[in-house]
Structure formats: C-alpha cells, structure tokens
Chains A and B, each alone.
Chain A
Amino acid sequence: MTYVSIKNLTFRYNKRQTPIIDNLSFAMNKGEIVGIVGASGSGKSTLLRIIAGLEQPEQGTIEVDQKMMMDDTCWVETEQRGVGMVFQDYALFPHLNVADNIGFGMHKLKRSERKQRLQEMLELVQMTDYAKRYPHELSGGQQQRVAMARALAPKPSILLMDEPFSNLDAHLKANIRKELLQILRRAGITCLFVSHDQADIEAICEREFCITANSGGNFCSC
C-alpha cells in the first residue's frame, strides 16, 4: 500500500531559471528505505527540503501517511508536518547537551513519557553514556547518531537524511553504514536517503532513484 505519494512536483529557486525539479512523481511503501543518487547540484537536497516544507514548490502534491502535506489548496507548515530530517551538517544545537538536543522535538509529550523516550533513543543509538556532553565534545560519528536520535524521537512519519556520511572519514564509513542500517531497521521507519556515493545506497537501501539535473521529467528509476 502506498505510504508516501509525490505527484507532478515542479520547483525552481528563481523564476527565470529552468526548474531544478521538473514534474517529478514517485511513491514509497511503509517501512521502505529508498535511496536517491545524483550528481552534485542535481537537486537532491532540494527535494528533501520540499518534502520537509522548507521550500515551496510551484506545483505538485505531497501526501504522507494519508495526510495531505501540500496541493493546490493546502499547505502544511514544516512544524506541523511530523517529518524528521537529518541535516548534512547535523545542525545539533551547540548550547544544548545531547539529552536536551534529543528531547527538543518531544516538547508535546508528558514529562514521564519524554524521559522514557529519551532513554529509548539514547539506547537505540548507543549514546547513553554521553547524555550530558555537548555537541562539540563528540566525534563526527557520534554527532551523526545524536542527530538521528533527535530526528527519530518525536516519531516522525518519514525520515529524510541528507548525505549523513559526508562529514565522516572514509575508514569509519563501513562500520557506520552497518550501524545506521540497524538503527533504521529497529526503528522501523520509512526513510528517504540521499547520497552521491553509490556504495552507501547499495549498503543501506532497498530501492534507489537516480535524479538528474534539469532534464524535463528528471527522474529515472535505476
């Protein structure tokens, strides 16, 4: 059954340019981990930002878990979409420690629930011992795991990951890929994963799309 459905999406940053995303459609099932590859500048990050509601496309519809995020008549703000996102630079808040970072998205839960969920998340990403540390006191891989935990904590309907490995050393990658896959599996989350490294996608994703820049209907399934 279709869980995420995106239809006829068209987007450009500048009215005078040709669209960066042109009439794009695709669908995902629940729990599926789908990879997106494509050259630099082909619009991968932009696609994720559109789904998160950080950019507004010219046309198209986005539906996640039977909830209409946007179409011709409606527009749901980012903060109401319930979409989780792991940013390329992780964007961990420097003035909050690990626990507060992870707790940041759970402000609507009750206190006791929040505490319990925080423990779950810390265990999920194996960062229990680091709860009181600040982001700058963590290694790149640890920061990435905290960012994952933070995005997963409010139980998003879908997790968007933008090049989560780009800040990591190459020799760490193999291990971290495995860890990441485990975390995603255990969380049972539907995930859209962007990378320009084919090996990442093959290790983690069940299915992949290739996105190419500015070619009308710029989407092909490989």
Chain B
Amino acid sequence: MNKRRLFINLQKRMNVWTIVSLTGAAVILLPILYVLSGLIRPANDNWESVKQFLLTDYVIGSLKLVLFTGFFATSIGVVLAWLVVGYTFPLRKWFRWALMLPLAVPPYIAAYTYATMTSYTGFIQATLRNQFDIHVTPGTIEVMSTRGAVFILTLFLFPYVFMIAKMFLERQSAVYIENARLLGHKRLSLFFNVVLPISRPAIIAGLMLVVFEVLSDYGVANYFGVQTLSTAIFQTWFSMYDVDSAMRLAAWLMVVIIGIFVLERYLRRNQQYNTSMKQNKPLAPKPLKGAAAFGATAFCMIVFLLSFVIPVVQLIVWATWTYEKMWSADLIELALNSLSGAAIATFVILILALLSAKTVRTMSSWPAYLLTKLMTVGYAVPGAIIAIGVLAVCIQLDKWLFPIYASLGMGKGMLWLSTSLFMLLAGYVIRFMATGYNAIETGYDKIPRSYSEAARTLGHGPASTFFKIELPLLRGSIVTGFILTFVEIVKELPITMLLRPFNFDTLAARTYQFAIDERIYEAALPSLLLISISLFSVLCILNIEKEKTK
C-alpha cells in the first residue's frame, strides 16, 4: 500500500465520530490509569506501616466477603431461577418478577435496617422479650459482623444472578433440558448434571456482577465494621489524610480486580455467549405437586420477605415516627440534588455511549474497538478507586489551569475543577458508562447493518444516517439505558461521599450519614424515597421487557 493510499485510509477512518469517542475513552481511562501508576511511584513512611500491619487484613477481609457472598448469592440466585423457569407452583408467575425487587433496595440501607431491627432494643428481640418472655443470649441474632455483612450483601445482590440465569434458562435451555428429561433425569440429577453445566456462562456473568459490587461496597462493610480494601481507602483518606497511601491501596485493589477480570475471561474462554436473536422455543415448566410445590413457594416467599418486605415495612414504620420532623424543605432539596445530578450524568453517559457504539459499528479497526471496550471497565472498578483517580486528575488539571483562572480574575491558587460538581459527575460517568453503553450496544446489534448501508447509498452521510435511521430505531434501548443508569447513580454511595462538593448533599449521602450517626429512625424517610425512585425505575424496565416479549 503506498503512502497516498495510507492517507486516504486514515482520512476515511478519522472522522469526527472517531475523534470524539476516542477522546471520551481517554478521559475515562485517565483516572484509572493514574491510580494504577501509584504502584510505581515511591512510597511514603505511612504506607510502609499500612503495608506492614494492615494490608493483609484488608485483603483477607475483602476476599472473605467476596467468597462467602459470591457463593451464597450465586446458590440462591441459580436455585430460584431454576425453580421459576423449570417448574410451576403457586405464585410462580408473581415471583418471576418480584424476586428482582430487592435490587431497588440499596444494601447499605438494608444493613442499618437489619442491624437496628435485630439489636437489643430492636423489634425482634423486644417482641420476644415482652410477649414471650424469651431472653436471647447476646450475639445470637445480631448481624453486626462479617456474618452480617455477608447476610446483607447476599440478600440484596442475589437478584443479579437470578436475573441473568433466569433469562438464559428461559431462552436457551429448552432443547437440552427436554432431552435430559426424556433420558430420565429428574429433579436433583437434572439440576446438577444439566442445568448447572449449561448455564455456566450465565452464572459466571451474574457472579461477576456480584463480586464487583462486593469489592466496590463501602456502606455495608463499614457499617458492620468489616475491614476491606474499600473501607481502608476511606480511612486512610479521611482519618489519616493520606491521599497517597489511599491511592496506593486503590492500586492494590485494582490489581485484585484485574486478576478477577482475567479469571472471568479464563472461565468463559470457550464459551461465547449465544446472542443470536432467534427466539428459541421456550421451556415448558413441569408442575410441582403437594409438598414439593409448598416447599418451592415457601422458599421463594422466605427469600422475598427477607430481601424486600421486611426491611421496607420496617422502614415505613420508622418513617411514620419521624414523618413530621423529616418532611421538611431539606428533603425535597436532597431529592432534587440526587435526581438532577443523576440525570445530568446519565445524559452525558448516553451521549458518549451513542457516539462510541456508532464508532465501533462503522469501523472494525481494532484500536477503536479496544478503546471503546476499555471505556466500559468502570463497572468493575470500585467507586472509591474512581473517586481517588478523578480527584487526583482534577487537582492536577487545576494546577495547570491556575494561570487561566488568574487571568479570568478568579483569584490565585484557586481550585475550581476539584471543588465543583464537575468531579462528582465525572466520577458517575466513569463508573456507570458500562450500564449505558451495554444497553445502547444491544440496541445497535438489533439494527441490521444493511439499514445504515442503504441510507448511505441513498446519499446520506454518517451523521444524517445516525439521526434519521439509527436514532429512531434505538429509541427503546435509549430509554432502557437511561433508566438503568439513572437508578444506579441515584443509589451510588462511595463516589457521592468522596467527590461531592462541600455544600452538595444527596439522598444517598444523607441517609448514610444519619445511619452512621445512629439517627436510624430519621434515615428511614430519605431511604424510602430512594427506594421508591429505584422501585419505580425497576418497574419501568420490567414493563418495557414485558412489552417486548409480546
């Protein structure tokens, strides 16, 4: 290929779309890379002591949470998914979507709700004591410990596994399972020999979501006093004011994450997700009778009560106690802050997602593909890491921009970026890019390439094709992507705690503050508000899905 041709090639590939999405990817990756670079910078004294005395504990704490929660959440999720897909029993149809509702309850809210409920003065022990005169040995049902953290994280994260496994089993398992039934496999044998092996990729995908959520968790672990890498980052940052060591911890956590990422790829090496749009024959469920049916209903019901009804009812009760005091203008302002922050960040995410999905689609060259894939790593990176990276990059930018601020008459030594809402929004965008991007990409995959090509042969350039053909056809995916991303951001705690500007408070941050200050009853109302927003979004999505399958 001669030089001239090379130039033509470059010109063809380097259009506005590419440049914008490459820039977007770079901006998103920058903070994460910055954190990683912490590994090769020289350490300060404090770090030596952290490393010597605490690092092992942090790593063990994180691993314990990941292993136990991963195991229990996956077990519950898969068993429930198989029950509602493979069998019929009373209330099955209802459980199929009701079991996703726990996703609307942020685990840190559940944590303080349960902790308070089961404490000495809490509802459960008080009832046992006063009504039945049963005195519980201290520590029997208290959930304040690693045990408690695992309990909470399991109950409120299992729906990820449930959702993905259920979708897989519903759409793609019919052939295998019917064959296995013909070959005489039943119940347990069917579950262990057929269902588990064929749904491995789906289970791993769900498990990974759980693992990343656990590693990212700050609220639950901190509330239960479990030392993890995530909580350690907060402590070194806020108690020791040692951002350097915090960054170094973040880098270590990042190494763990990358390890898990590689492990995931390895576990799924030969298994491409079957993304074919062909609607396979759905599996016909077998009816359960008698004790088995009762058992199935009871199991689903217990999980549902524990992971949704009980905490929500308890919160409602508490909210009625503090209703008058809390229902102040302040609460509305908090809600507005939460909603507007989330809306702006979601908007930015969707624009970036549309641009990069479009770029990946129009050009198949691997650098663009790789960069865009990298853009979505944020979902695996804990909020605390992203927060530190964003902060560091913004402070650096501020230093560079000093002269410009000065020339604008904003005063010397002014930190503008790193004290503004910009930081918080950037953190949200980086962390939740993947949620929006995946929704858009799924939508794009459903539009035949020939549509865009036809538009081009009819004289429309890439931009015009995008606005007239692709955008209208993507409408459904955009709505779904918006809701999913929005709700994640509204619930997000660590990034909000670390990056919000001085006078900017959100529902999530305030709720958590109340909880830490032992003002549990006052936390109830903002918690309920948060749960309602999430619930509304989850219901919207479920409704959209239902429409689609019709």
User: A104 — which chain B residues lie within 8 A by C-beta?
Assistant: 455, 458, 460, 468
Expressed in whole angstroms, the Cα–Cα distance for A58 and B454 within the complex equals 23
Which of A58, A74, A80 contacts B1 (CB under 8 A)? Answer: A58
Contact A75 B8 (CB under 8 A): yes
User: B1 — which chain A residues lie within 8 A by C-beta?
Assistant: 58
Q: Which residue of B lies closest to A95 (CB)?
A: B472
User: B11 — which chain A residues lie within 8 A by C-beta?
Assistant: 75
Expressed in whole angstroms, the Cα–Cα distance for A52 and B5 within the complex equals 18
User: B8 — which chain A residues lie within 8 A by C-beta?
Assistant: 73-75
Which of B4, B448, B453 contacts A54 (CB under 8 A)? Answer: B453
Which of A84, A89, A151 contacts B450 (CB under 8 A)? Answer: A89
- Count residues of A near B (Cβ-Cβ below 8 Å): 32
**Is there a chain B Cβ closer than 8 Å to A220's Cβ?**
no
Q: Which residue of B lies closest to A85 (CB)?
A: B457
Expressed in whole angstroms, the Cα–Cα distance for A72 and B5 within the complex equals 6
**Is there a chain B Cβ closer than 8 Å to A93's Cβ?**
yes
A215 to chain B, nearest CB (A): 24
Contact A89 B448 (CB under 8 A): yes
Q: Assess A105 versus B450: contact at CB under 8 Å? Given A56-B9, A93-B469.
A: no
Q: Which residue of B lies closest to A153 (CB)?
A: B458
Contact B451 A93 (CB under 8 A): yes
User: A151 — which chain B residues lie within 8 A by C-beta?
Assistant: 457-458
Which of B4, B451, B453, B458 contacts A105 (CB under 8 A)? Answer: B458
Q: Mark B1-26, 1 if CB is under 8 A from A, else 0.
A: 11011001101100000000000000
Expressed in whole angstroms, the Cα–Cα distance for A58 and B8 within the complex equals 12
A195 to chain B, nearest CB (A): 18
Expressed in whole angstroms, the Cα–Cα distance for A42 and B458 within the complex equals 27
Contact A78 B457 (CB under 8 A): yes
Expressed in whole angstroms, the Cα–Cα distance for A73 and B461 within the complex equals 21
13 additional A-B residue pairs with CB within 8 Å, beyond A54-B457, A75-B8: A54-B456, A75-B11, A78-B453, A79-B459, A79-B461, A81-B457, A84-B457, A91-B451, A91-B453, A93-B454, A105-B459, A107-B459, A151-B458
User: B209 — which chain A residues lie within 8 A by C-beta?
Assistant: none
Contact B458 A56 (CB under 8 A): no
B273 to chain A, nearest CB (A): 24
Expressed in whole angstroms, the Cα–Cα distance for A110 and B279 within the complex equals 44
Q: List 24 A-B contacts (CB under 8 A).
A: A54-B453, A54-B456, A54-B457, A56-B12, A58-B1, A72-B2, A72-B4, A73-B4, A74-B8, A75-B12, A77-B456, A77-B461, A80-B459, A82-B459, A87-B454, A91-B448, A91-B450, A93-B455, A95-B472, A104-B460, A105-B457, A107-B460, A108-B459, A150-B454
User: A88 — which chain B residues lie within 8 A by C-beta?
Assistant: 450
Q: Assess A91 versus B454: contact at CB under 8 Å? Given A75-B8, A75-B12.
A: yes
Name the interface residues of B454-478: CB closer than 8 Å to any CB of A.
454-461, 464, 468-469, 472-473
Contact A83 B457 (CB under 8 A): yes
Q: Mark B469-502, 1 if CB is under 8 A from A, else 0.
A: 1001100000000000000000000000000000
User: B464 — which chain A residues lie within 8 A by C-beta?
Assistant: 107
A114 to chain B, nearest CB (A): 13
User: A72 — which chain B residues lie within 8 A by C-beta?
Assistant: 2, 4-5
Contact B2 A87 (CB under 8 A): no
Contact A87 B460 (CB under 8 A): no
Choose among B2, B469, B473 the residue with the greatest number of A CB atoms under 10 Å from its CB. B469
